[in-house]
Structure 1
Amino acid sequence: MTGYAQRDIFFVSNSVDELGGVTSWSHQMARLFTERGHRVHVVGITPPAVAQELGEVAYPTTTLYDGQPPRPGRARAASMREQAARLTALFSAARPGAVVIVTQVWAMEWVELADTRGLTVIGMSHESFRYSKASSRFRRVLRHYRDVDRMLVLTREDADLWIGQGLNNASFMPNPLPFMPEVPSPRTQKVVVSMGRLHDQKGIDMLLDTWAEVAPRHPDWTLRIYGSGEDEEMLHKQCTALGLDSSVEWMGRTSDVPGALRGGSVFVQSSRGEGFPLALMEAMAMAVPCAAFDCAPGVHEIIRDEEDGLLAALGNTGELARKLSTLMSDEELRDRMGKAARVNIQRYTTEEIVRRWEDLFRFLER
């Protein structure tokens, strides 16, 4: 490593192995920083409700609670102080120049009770401003991230909106490309791929409504849905009620994302809210053209509409159906957009994003 100080870097999240994109991002960055010679520690507040398999990691992980913390009240306050003292002990053993990256605002409630003197503290929101504003997290971000050294979101557009709310420490940092496979999808199978947790945010119910319009026009195509989650039973019932069981394949979770994408010719994302969606980046890296709801600045920053993918207005299932149908009907268009996607997405290489993080650490240390 040349030109950059080797640092102690702490990632603090709700859980170290919670199912979802924030966990995947945290461990990707932890691995990248470790490979760059930094000393990384990943900390979770509680065990997750739904875990994801991490495999072996080259850095320590710590979970503060064995179960869920007490309900709000005196016992909760006492337990938070006790666990914050554990964070203080971890932080106090760090070398000068250490950085604490808080990936979710709930976890910040413990970090701000700990002693972080001499450390750089960065708070993150991995969702769009619009999606955050519709949730209880919005007020918590304004309250708990107001005094951190930098509050990071995923796009300049969202950073400007937070600055408009008085968070003058807001800036942005895009996600890195999860992988760049040597062998892209040949786009020869008549398969549309969806990938994400079976949860309201991911809008699989809207995807099924969309597919109900698409499937009759393309009876030789299949929708392949990868993912698991709390809405699985409800979605299966919806699928059956819409008469789609013969054209929809429920694949469950996969540990082979490139393999799953290599089996598709089109990718679809139907989310109600996103930050900077890794699934779109993964599909584009595999040269699979995407059709997606334009639900967040991160989506229209990743996809250049009509150039390397197609965007539909959020919630407009008819429009998303038309965009999907356009890609499914035109092999030449799929090939052109898929190849463009694979080239364009390389602006988010891991080397570029890690360099930007290290530049930020150095800037904030001044």
Structure 2
Amino acid sequence: MTLVSTEPQRDVFFVSNSVDELGGVTSWSHQMARLLTGRGHRVHVVGITPSDVVQELGEVAYPMTTLYAGQPPRPGRAREASMREQAVRLTALFRAARPGAVVIVTQVWAMEWVAQADTRGLTVIGMSHESFEYSKASSRFQRVRKYYQDVDRMLALTREDADLWIGQGMNNASFMPNPLPFMPDVPSPRTEKAVVSIGRLHDQKGIDMLLDTWAEVAPRHPDWRLRIYGSGEDEEILKKQCTALGLDNSVDWMGRTSDVAGALRGGSVFVQSSRGEGFPLALMEAMATAVPCAAFDCAPGVHEIVHDGEDGLLATLGNTGELARRLDTLMSDKELRDGMGDRARINIQRYTTTEIVNRWEDLFSFLER
């Protein structure tokens, strides 16, 4: 049954780099769009450019708009002229909204276009879906400071990250965790001797470090397999690394999957080897499926989701030997992983969709005052 909110029904715009690119921000945007639509709000998802690698969205119950038919011109006068032109389109969308409308900019690159549009009378929220430290190591850091400085609220994913942004002079910073992506009725039985990884085959996800980790673990557990779900630009070089490490007989390259819950139910341990994250959905999905996690503690969102030693095990970022020991601990002790998996499924429910959507609606009302 759909629960209609007692909050005012609003027009809500989600503005991202693309409406359907592969990645967690897109998944989050459409999950929130569905949830807010279910509460009676009128949602519109806007992207700046089309995607090179498209995520399957299925049917959507709200409009989607992409500003450019291709990529915008290179920086220069032509780029500036095109941005002004597309800002006019954004302004037209925003002007058609009812009073109390909210613009949620999910990625700071997209904010460069929103900043040129007329947002008078609208609440504008800018988001960073990565940790403060990971952002600081990229070009996005200065763009956040520039383009989110004057929005109504700049949202990080954890209180720890918000405090760090405040320390940079972003006094409008606060935080909002991600909602639980799903809560499967049937958890993993944790009977298969399989460790599961789910994520893009991209440097950020650290699959190269995972293979180095597995090279230490696999000889001690010859009856276990590592299943790597995902695709990406690093696939060829990672498979070569796998072969060079002598791991071809214990690693399964599963490709992309549209059945994340099914993939997780087929595993007894989940591993995340990322160099950087925000509030990782994959960890939440694994815990909801009652699969205990071993992960690099690469962001505040990771140690907020996983209670180290209670419902999962964390290792120092980049220390593959330590991550190997965490995996070995879970793989060697069925009673331990069963206990951690059961506690993970219970603990992760503090991020239910109802709780998080209520927090969003409370924020809308607070910022409208």
**TM-score class normalised by the smaller sequence:** over 0.9
Kindly report which structure 2 residues correspond to 1:157-168, keeping only aligned pairs within 5 A, or say none: 157-168=160-171
Q: 2:332 aligns with which of 329, 334, 343?
A: 329
| Amino acid corresponding to residue 253 of structure 2 in structure 1 | W
Secondary structure of the residue aligned to 1:292 is strand
- For residues 9-54 of structure 1, give each alpha carbon's deviation from its aligned partner in whole angstroms, at most 9, with x where no partner exists: 0000000001000000000000000000000000000011211111
- For residues 262-283 of structure 1, give each alpha carbon's deviation from its aligned partner in whole angstroms, at most 9, with x where no partner exists: 0000000000000000000000
Aligned to 1:238: 241
Kindly report which structure 2 residues correspond to 1:69-148, keeping only aligned pairs within 5 A, or say none: 69-148=72-151
Gaps of 5+ in 2: none
Moved over 4 A (4+): none
Secondary structure of the residue aligned to 2:237 is helix
Identical residues among aligned pairs (%): 86
Secondary structure of the residue aligned to 1:364 is helix
Partner Cα distance (1:335, 1:256) in 2: 23
- Give the TM-score of the pair, scaled to structure 1: 1.00
Q: 1:198 aligns with which of 198, 201, 221?
A: 201
Q: 2:71 aligns with which of 53, 64, 68?
A: 68
- Give the TM-score of the pair, scaled to structure 2: 0.99
Secondary structure of the residue aligned to 1:42 is strand
Partner Cα distance (2:48, 2:299) in 1: 28
| Amino acid corresponding to residue 156 of structure 1 in structure 2 | R
| Amino acid corresponding to residue 3 of structure 1 in structure 2 | T
Does the Cα contact within 8 Å between 2:5 and 2:39 map onto a contact in 1?
A: no
Q: Are 2:351 and 1:348 aligned?
A: yes
Q: Are 2:261 and 1:250 aligned?
A: no
RMSD over equivalenced CA pairs, Å: 0.4
Q: Are 2:55 and 1:52 aligned?
A: yes
Partner Cα distance (1:23, 1:303) in 2: 23
Aligned to 1:286: 289
Partner Cα distance (1:153, 1:226) in 2: 28
Q: Are 2:10 and 1:20 aligned?
A: no
Aligned to 1:364: 367
Gaps of 5+ in 1: none
How many equivalent residue pairs? 366
Partner Cα distance (2:5, 2:165) in 1: 34
Aligned to 1:4: 7
